[in-house]
């Protein structure tokens, strides 16, 4: 009996962000999620542009589905490039892109970034994408465990995204499916706070794809949802002549490019906010919860304030000082005239401009660290990435070992002020 695809999509701004930079789509042949990034460079614009281009592939593929999907992803990358060139304020914006294209028999998978795709078969969940992140490279090298990766201070640092640069190197593959399979594509706003075991249980117990998508987003919200959350769910079923749906779901930032055909009676309607959230520039809010905690403690007296001050001084993050990557002690926030952080150390020899673009943006927005040791590890990792990025031809460089297993480069790496000798 022929197979068909059922589908649903949900997106939520989360509990901390002011706007939704995620975009999602679910249609008869295409499932896709794009998670924008870039802060003031308009990550929501990048994710929306990617989905707008990918939607053109939502039809029965004529030929190799990977070729069709690859062309759509390349078009998305090209559009991001055009938009960044047209508006310099958007330079550096980017987005992840994870999509599945259905040809009636198989699914073509195209993936770049840290959004994820999962396959649930016979109650067992398998991740069918590999995160393009710094921490995933540490896991691959055996330096940390997958469990450690979930708590690593640099877990949000991506190594590949759509930024308008060429060439791009997404992962492409064919996924063989069977009746009963369920598929999930989600942004890291879900996978960072809901475990694979919890995702597996939710996908298995949900009666419909709509139930599954709704439950997954609700689970992320119950877990704090510090980031935007998007879940696109598909199910392979045997066609019985009743599956004739041609409607599509457009969620998150991408929904804003469509006219609202059914305006809400209330401007604060939850579903309106879910499917068409306001587009605002991303602003890191790592400081929000510590600030609330500090404010609450101040209200109960001087003893509480003393305790809070000690807690703040135990916090560290990596940021920028006079163009150099630096370590700060405290949290990045102010209470009126009171600064809750101070410059702790400037390791030196690591200019911000020496970092690859994706790392430069992350440092500019600050990278949280659980303690001083974590902050120093982030500095070492960023230095290694910068040095490798600016390494001259192998014949002109000399590699030395820094003593802990990393391969460090010599002094001459071709970028002024960048020190790489271990």
pLDDT per residue over 354-409, tens digit each? 888 878 888 888 888 878 888 888 888 888 888 888 875 334 444 444 444 444 45
Domain housing 133: 3-275
- Residue count of the chain, please give it: 422
80-100 residue pLDDT tens:
999 999 998 888 899 999 999
Q: Distance (Å, rounded) from C-alpha 184 to C-alpha 193?
A: 16
The pLDDT of residue 309 is 52
* 239 and 169 part of one domain: yes
The pLDDT of residue 361 is 80
Q: Distance (Å, rounded) from C-alpha 33 to C-alpha 51?
A: 8
Both tokens of residue 267? 């401007």
* 357 and 226 part of one domain: no
Q: Distance (Å, rounded) from C-alpha 292 to C-alpha 71?
A: 47
Query: Looking at the domain assignment, is residue 420 inside a domain?
Result: no
Provide the mean pLDDT of the chain: 82
Q: 115-119, 245-249, 255-259, 357-361: lowest mean pLDDT where?
A: 255-259
168-210 residue pLDDT tens:
999 999 999 999 999 999 999 999 999 999 999 999 999 999 9
* Counted domains in the chain: 2
The pLDDT of residue 93 is 93
CB 224 within 8 A of CB 21: no
* 392 and 320 part of one domain: yes
Tell me which of 249, 275, 301 is where a domain ends.
275
The pLDDT of residue 302 is 39
CB 171 within 8 A of CB 129: yes
The pLDDT of residue 268 is 33
- Would you say residue 220 has pLDDT above 50? yes
- Would you say residue 310 has pLDDT above 60? no
Query: Looking at the domain assignment, is residue 232 inside a domain?
Result: yes
Q: What is the mean pLDDT of residues 12-23?
A: 94
Tell me which of 275, 308, 334 is where a domain ends.
275
Residue 255's CB is within 10 A of a number of other CB atoms, namely 23
Beta bridge partners, 175, equal 107
pLDDT band at 243 (very low <50, low <70, confident <90, very high): low
* 23 and 157 part of one domain: yes
Q: Distance (Å, rounded) from C-alpha 160 to C-alpha 168?
A: 8
266: CB partners within 8 A, 6+ apart: 272
């Amino acid at each position: 009996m022929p197979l068909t695809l059922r589908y649903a999509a949900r997106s939520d701004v989360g509990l901390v962000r002011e706007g939704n930079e995620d975009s999602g789509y679910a249609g008869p042949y295409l499932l896709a999620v794009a998670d924008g990034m870039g802060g003031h460079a308009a990550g929501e614009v990048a994710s929306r542009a990617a989905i707008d281009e990918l939607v053109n592939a939502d039809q029965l593929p004529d030929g190799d589905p990977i070729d069709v999907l690859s062309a759509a992803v390349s078009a998305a990358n090209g559009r991001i490039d055009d938009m960044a060139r047209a508006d310099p304020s958007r330079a550096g914006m980017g987005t992840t892109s994870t999509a599945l294209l259905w040809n009636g028999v198989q699914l073509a998978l195209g993936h770049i970034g840290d959004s994820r795709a999962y396959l649930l078969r016979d109650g067992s969940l398998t991740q069918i994408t590999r995160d393009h992140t710094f921490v995933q490279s540490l896991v691959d090298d055996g330096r940390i465990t997958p469990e450690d990766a979930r708590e690593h201070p640099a877990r949000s640092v991506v190594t590949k995204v759509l930024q308008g640069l060429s060439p791009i190197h997404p992962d492409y593959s064919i996924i063989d499916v069977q009746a009963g399979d369920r598929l999930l594509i989600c942004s890291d706003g879900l996978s960072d706070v809901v475990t694979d075991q919890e995702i597996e249980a939710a996908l298995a117990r949900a009666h419909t794809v709509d139930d599954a998508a709704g439950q997954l987003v609700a689970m992320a919200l119950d877990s704090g949802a510090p980031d935007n959350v998007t879940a696109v769910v598909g199910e392979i079923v045997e066609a019985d002549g009743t599956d004739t749906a041609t409607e599509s779901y457009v969620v998150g930032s991408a929904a804003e490019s469509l006219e609202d055909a059914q305006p809400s009676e209330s401007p604060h309607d939850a579903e309106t906010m879910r499917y068409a959230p306001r587009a605002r520039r991303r602003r890191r809010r790592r400081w929000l919860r510590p600030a609330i905690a500090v404010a609450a403690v101040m209200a109960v007296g001087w003893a509480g304030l003393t305790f809070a001050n000690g807690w703040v001084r135990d916090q560290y993050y990596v940021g920028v000082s006079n163009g150099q990557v630096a370590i700060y002690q405290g949290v990045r926030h102010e209470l009126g005239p009171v600064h809750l952080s101070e410059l702790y150390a400037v390791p030196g020899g690591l200019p911000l401009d020496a970092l690859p673009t994706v790392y430069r943006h992350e440092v500019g927005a600050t990278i949280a660290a659980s303690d001083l040791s974590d902050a120093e590890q982030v500095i070492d990792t960023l230095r290694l990435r910068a040095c490798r990025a600016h390494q001259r031809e192998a014949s002109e460089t000399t590699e030395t070992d820094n003593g802990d297993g990393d391969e460090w480069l010599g002094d001459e790496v071709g970028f002024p002020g960048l020190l790489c000798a271990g």
